[in-house]
Structure 1
Amino acid sequence: MSDSLGHKAMKGTVWATVDRIGNMCLQFGVNLVLARLLLPREFGAIGMLEIFIVVSQVLIDGGFAAALIQKKNPTQTDYSTIFYWNIFIAVILYGAIFLCAPFVAEFFNLPLLRNLLRVIGLILITNAFSLIQTNRLRKKLELNKLACANLCAYTISGILAVATAYFGFGVWSLVVLQLGYSTLLAVILWVITGWMPSAVFSRQSLRELFGFGGYLLAATLLQEICKNLQGVIIGKRFSATAMGLYSQASKLDRIASYTLPNILVQVMYPVYASVQDDDERLVNMLGLNTRFISSVIFPLMAVLILVAHPLIVCLWGDAWSACAPYFQILCVGGLFICLQNTNFFAVAAKGKSRLLFYWSIYKWSFLLLCLFVGMNFGIYGLLWGMTLSNFNIFMVNALLASRHTGYKFSMQLGDIMPLLSLAAVAFSLTYMLGNLLTCHFIVTVIVFATIYIALACSFNLKVVGEIKMVIMRFLKKQKISVS
């Protein structure tokens, strides 16, 4: 990696970390307050609608965001064409959601959902106005601007949501949170980027970008439908309360298992694309990312499983204690989720979007099978089915990366297994000590972290030296730039 590209990637990683960690803290804090003011069934009502919003958002994006990043030199015509296309599709989809809202409410036997869906569906239109601005900032790795926009938008919308919940607006405070954030983000991005679409629409640009993005669209669409189908199943087969418990457990799990991987993917996908013709550099990046993610997420998932119950009661109160088993099962799945996108986007950077689509048919068909079989064994059976599917997705993406990037599966196992083994040993020792000594869950976390770090340093794992090297290199670059 050249110094300029490496420095831009490290700088982008720092700002992506600020963005992700900052948003995570804000979301965690807002959710903490709202969980004390609202009931599980109110969170469940919004959770039932998530599949409609997420799937519509994927259709609006159409895979064009990834295509614009993958394309080495997108033009103003490309950006303007996709901007107008996004707005057009967003309006069409919102109209469909507006008309279908009564049928959704009837399906779930919850009349409130009709008006909820019609209002929260406006997110599709507000998001469409910010997609290109976001894409341009990511393409250029100007993630400092994106971080500032995200943090400002969520801070204001979070304050509004807490205020509306405090004054008794119930589930509508969650609508204020999501719609307010989307609207404010669009406004801020238009101001800070200064980009304006030209009065041009090119069918040629649309066809060219869809040639790559269309397959990613299909793959992502299948992914999001299947990933969010569990919300429909839980809401329909079980109850709004069960959906609320699952929704909260899923949010906490996503903070833990998705935050770091998403930071790296956000930064590294443009970098992967820039070195797509140099397999050696791509393999080195993939190995480093895999080891770094594994060294953080594996122990994090392990310790969260240990302290799940007291942690949730401490955060949200006794009313949410039934959420703990949901969270523990999702954390097991998080061990496999954390590495999925690293492999996926490395393959995408090589231009293999059609191949990813074909394999997505298998991956998400397997998830559907796990969901429909698992739900016959209750809510826990459904969650374990999701975990099995997460393992399957990891295996498919890892094998695809092995074949098309040169990052062999045996190399990936060699990077992963030592760290997974250390996390398992630290988990076992901490669990045994916990049975001998009754202590606060924070003490359990400290004991686990001490054991894990001591083992990692004792075995002189490669990733320990790599983390030190990356930190020192970044600090050196910063010192040079200041002087």
Structure 2
Amino acid sequence: MSLGSKVLSGTIWASLDRFGTIFLQFFVNLVLARLLTPADYGCIGMLSIFLVVSQVLVDGGFGSALIQKKEPTQIDYSTIFFWNLLFACFLYVVLFLLSPYIALFFKMPLLSDVLKVLGLILIINSLGIIQNNRLRKQMKFKKISFVNVSSFFISSLVGIYLACHGLGVWSLVIMQLCNAMFNAGTLWVVARWYPSFVFSFRTLKELFGFGGYLLASNILQEICKNLQGLIIGRKFSSVEMGFYSQAKKLDDIACLTLPNVIMQVMFPLYSQLQNDLKQLKNALNMSVQVISFVIFPLIAILILIAHPLICFLYGHKWEGAIPYFQILCVGGLFACLQNVNYYAVAALGKSKPLFRWSFYKWGMLFIFLFVGIHWGIHGLLWGMVISSLNIYLVNALLVSKYCHYSLAEQLKGVLPVFCLSLIVAMLLWLLNQQWLLPFGVNIVIYITVYIMIAYVARFKAFEYCFLLLNKLLKLDK
């Protein structure tokens, strides 16, 4: 297959993977949200920062380094496999020993036992990291899609069954463990790669040259992305943490699903185009415009219908999550474009500048959060919004420097889409002041008006979306 066909095929299967998993997660979350309490979700949310940061440490940036390296060898893959496994075991022991103190910090004794069990995910996940990275590098997203969707489907059945029998938070814990086990086991079967009993410190040092800086940058990123959960869990109740977790989960589905699908496919492509900046710029421009054209109006309509939507999906006991969700959606306008720029720079091997700038980006987040907390949890969330804007601007400026795709060019592509999304939302809001329309009718009206105006005004982003859709349909035939 040509490179273009591989990208389009990868986009199809990565989309099926991501959206299939998201659909299952969404459906399962609807069921579990009615069986469990906000406090149950809050319990898991309090521990997320420890597990996410540990998982980033396990990968160590080596996964991205192996994808970025043009021709990794069996020795490279085997070395990183054993490193991941050994380091995962080490981190699990650390979490096990710290679990009583973490529970004491949050004043919830139950967290100690939960973390001891949930931490096993680190070891299980480490067994499938290399297999997953090999499939990604080979752009075999069809196989990845099968693994992820099937694993989550089976584990979800387990989680729902346990929740129905009153296991509470433990149904969420066991569901995540089952998902990790099924995922790692299936990857071994599907990828058909097995480690050789070799370990090269030379390989470790070589890959760390790229992956080390990316690791440090990712650690700072994940710590700061989950820091607000740590603050909310400590300063507020587990119920408030549950509201925040549910709002964040729904916001991530809306704002990050499509960008993550695109970046899963585009990062290997960016790496292949690292010696052709013109082609890289074109690919980056299309990614930015397609994402903004789809995500911006989605965010606008979700803010508009947040109240009836959340009550319909989760029930009235989750009404407390509505203002959190609306504020997070505003930040999603900037968050959806952050990684597009980030991974374009990473594909050029510029992990060191990314690492250096991460201190500024995440240092500013600390400032915004600790200033915002003086106005309560809403102030904290608005601090996250301002931080998302700051991170987007920094990543865009780095792309301007290394990929010759200036911030002005990016804004020229996304500002018309932003203005159109806002105008249509305001018109629909005014219409609802006169006639209170069902949220389904609001969605239909919004999409119809938005697409018609974009078509008549000949938005470049609309043309990109239409062109991409047309190519995907032709490839499917």
| Equivalent residue runs for 1:219-298 within 5 Å | 219-298=217-296
Selected match of 2:208 from 207, 210, 215: 210
**Paired amino acid for 1:99:** L
1:426 aligns with 2:424: yes
What's the secondary structure of 2:71's corresponding residue? Answer: coil
What is the distance in 1 between the residues matched to 2:476 and 2:365?
A: 45
Name the CA distance, whole Å, in 1 between partners of 2:174 and 2:130.
Answer: 24
Aligned residue in 2 for 1:414:
412
CA distance in 1, matches of 2:118, 2:150: 21
> Quick check: 1:223–1:364 contact (8 Å CA) kept in 2?
yes
Deviation at 1:256, TM superposition (A): 0.4
Q: How does 1:105-116 map to 2 (within 5 A)?
A: 105-116=103-114
Alignment of 1:295-310 (within 5 A): 295-310=293-308
Aligned residue for 1:161? Answer: 159
SS of the counterpart of 1:169? coil
C-alpha root-mean-square deviation of aligned residues, in Å?
A: 0.8
Question: Among 181, 188, 191, which residue is 1:190 paired with?
Answer: 188
2:42 paired with 1:44: yes
Partner of 1:471: 469
1:463 Cα deviation after fit? 2.1
- SS where residue 197 of structure 2 aligns? coil
Instruction: State the one-letter code of the partner of 2:460.
Output: K
What do residues 44-99 of structure 1 show as CA deviations (whole Å, max 9, x unaligned)?
Answer: 00000000100100110000011001000011100000000000100000000000
> Counterparts of 1:65-214 in structure 2 under 5 Å?
65-214=63-212
Per-residue CA deviations over 1:84-142 (Å, capped at 9, x if unaligned) read 00001000000000000000111111010010000000000000001000000000000
Q: Which residue of 1 aligns with 2:322?
A: 324
Write the distance in 2 (CA, Å) between the matches of 1:43 and 1:27.
14
Please give the per-residue CA displacement for 1:257-314, whole angstroms capped at 9, x wherever unaligned: 0100000000000000001011100010011001100000000000000000110000
**Contact kept in structure 2, 1:134 and 1:146, CA below 8 Å:** yes
Partner SS state of residue 190, structure 2? helix
Query: What residue identity is the alignment partner of 2:277?
Result: D
Alignment of 1:4-43 (within 5 A): 4-43=2-41
Does the 8 Å CA contact 2:19/2:257 hold for their aligned counterparts? yes
Q: Contact 1:272–1:282 at 8 Å: present in 2 too?
A: yes
Deviation, 1:468, is: 2.2
3-state SS in 2 of match to 1:338: helix
Does the aligned pair in 2 maintain the 1:164–1:173 contact within 8 Å? yes
Distance in 2 of aligned mates of 1:276 and 1:391: 27
Q: Secondary structure at the match of 2:305?
A: helix
CA apart distance, 1:478:
4.0
Q: Secondary structure at the match of 2:265?
A: helix
Q: What is the identity, as a one-letter code, of the residue corresponding to 1:374?
A: G
Runs of 4+ in 1 over 6 A off after TM superposition: none
User: Which residue number corresponds to residue 339 of structure 2?
Assistant: 341
Residues 1:350 and 2:348 aligned together:
yes
Alpha-carbon distance, 1:410 to partner: 1.1
Is the contact between residue 290 and residue 465 of structure 2 (CA under 8 Å) also seen in structure 1?
yes
Contact persistence 2:8–2:475 (CA under 8 A): no
Cα distance in 1 for partners of 2:26, 2:65 equals 32
Give the paired residue count: 477
Deviations 1:450-471 (A, max 9, x none): 2211111110111222222223
1:325 and 1:247 mapped to 2: Cα distance?
Answer: 13
Please state how far the C-alpha of 1:427 moved relative to its aligned partner: 0.8
Offset of residue 177 of structure 1 = 1.6
Amino acid at match of 1:464: F
CA contact (8 A) 1:26 1:155 kept: yes
Instruction: Give the secondary-structure state (helix, strand or coil) at the position aligned to 1:200.
Output: coil
Name the residue aligned to 1:440. 438
8 Å CA contact 1:7, 1:474 repeated in 2: no
Q: Could you tell me which runs of 5 or more consecutive residues in structure 1 were left unpaired when the two chains were aligned.
A: none
Q: For residue 409 of structure 1, what is the amino acid of its counterpart?
A: L
Which moves more between the two structures, 63-72 or 443-452?
443-452
Q: Contact 2:162/2:171 (CA < 8 Å) preserved in 1? A: yes
Partner Cα separation in structure 2 for residue 431 and residue 477 of structure 1: 40
Contact 1:12–1:267 at 8 Å: present in 2 too? yes
Q: What is the identity, as a one-letter code, of the residue corresponding to 2:106?
A: F
